[in-house]
Amino acid sequence: MYREMQRAVPGLDAMYRLVQALVTSHTGDAPHVLVVGAGSGREIEALDGCNVVGRITAIDPSARNLDTARDTAGALGASLDVRFVVGTTNDIPDGEAFDVVTSLLVMHHLRDDGTKFAYLKGLRDRLAPGGRLIHADVCFDEIDDFDRLVPMYLAHADIVGVSADAARLELNAIPQLPVISERRTRALFAEAGLTEPFEIFRSLWYRCWTSSRAPQ
Ligand SMILES: C[S@@+](CC[C@H](N)C(=O)[O-])C[C@H]1O[C@@H](n2cnc3c(N)ncnc32)[C@H](O)[C@@H]1O
């Protein structure tokens, strides 16, 4: 159902292909990748197409979701070296740093009461020098902006044959999320010691940026 909901968003699958392209184009041999909020395993699926990727560490505080990611990896065969960790960035052993950190569609679930900041700081602290963060979130300035996009979303869902029930699930869920504006996102990145996010993907209320550790 989660994937069906995602299919209703025009081009969202391309965001995962971009992750593959960014990892492939990352300088350095066999980059070590941290997948934060591995959930259903979509990033792992995307990384399966990279012939340059090194070890992958996939984390998620939900053991159930991580099991889904594990099943996804298992179905891909033995080509990827994936370590699964139930938890957050705090549960990764001290001193481990990653060439690429992905954070796709996780932070919009976290409250802006210091939790989003702590999350971003955790990502920043896990980036190796020269490492790249790929971060995607639901993002809009005001709920009116979301409302204006809804008819396009529903029409697109219909065109691609997504059921009305699946399409509605997304519409019911988004207004309940602690979504923040792009301006607030940029301020949190700066506070957490990350460089200005660079937008690489946008469709309806979904955005994806790259960033790295800001110089101290
Ligand atoms: C909407 S899913 C996204 C899954 C996947 N990244 C994708 O793009 O399909 C969000 C995932 O983030 C996980 N999550 C929630 N809070 C988290 C945190 N603080 N750190 C890491 N993952 C978290 C949830 O358990 C869930 O599996």
Q: Which among 105, 143, 107, 137 is positioned nearest to 122, based on CA atoms?
A: 107
- Burial label for 44, CB within 10 Å (0-12, 13-18, 19+), is buried
User: What is the pLDDT at residue 12?
Assistant: 95
39 lines ligand 1 (CB under 6 A): yes
Alpha helices in 138-198 (DSSP H): 143-159, 164-173, 182-191
Radius of gyration, alpha carbons of the chain: 17
pLDDT tens by residue, 58-90 = 999 999 999 999 999 999 876 788 999 999 999
Return the percent helix, strand and coil in the chain, to nearest 5: 45, 20, 35
Q: Are strands 127-138 and 206-211 parallel, antiparallel or unpaired?
A: antiparallel
Q: How far is ligand 1, taken at its centre, from the CA of residue 137, in Å?
A: 11
Q: State the Cα angle at 153 between 147 and 158, rounded to 5°.
A: 140
- Residue 65 CA, closest ligand 1 atom number: 27
Alpha helices in the chain (DSSP H): 2-7, 12-25, 42-47, 63-76, 115-126, 143-159, 164-173, 182-191
The SS3 call for residue 202 is strand
Residue nearest to atom 4 of ligand 1 (CA): 39
Q: How far is ligand 1, taken at its centre, from the CA of residue 205, in Å?
A: 17
User: What is the pLDDT at residue 6?
Assistant: 83
Q: Are strands 206-211 and 198-203 parallel, antiparallel or unpaired?
A: antiparallel
pLDDT at residue 146 is higher than 80: yes
pLDDT tens by residue, 13-67 = 999 999 999 998 887 788 999 999 999 899 999 998 787 888 999 999 999 999 9
Average pLDDT for the chain: 94
Q: How many CB atoms lie under 10 A from the CB of residue 165? A: 10
pLDDT tens by residue, 155-195 = 999 999 999 999 999 999 999 999 999 999 999 999 999 99
The CA distance from 148 to 163, in Å, is 21
User: What is the pLDDT at residue 78?
Assistant: 66
Rounded average pLDDT over 118-124: 98
Rounded average pLDDT over 116-145: 97
Taking each helix axis from N to C end, the angle separating 182-191 and 115-126, rounded to the nearest 10 degrees, works out to 50
User: What is the pLDDT at residue 47?
Assistant: 92
Determine whether domain 2-211 maps to CATH 1.10.1060.10. no
Q: How many CA atoms lie within 13 A of 210 on its CB side?
A: 13
40 lines ligand 1 (CB under 6 A): yes
User: What is the pLDDT at residue 136?
Assistant: 98
pLDDT at residue 202 is higher than 90: yes
User: What is the pLDDT at residue 188?
Assistant: 98
The CA distance from 206 to 95, in Å, is 32
User: What is the pLDDT at residue 3?
Assistant: 77
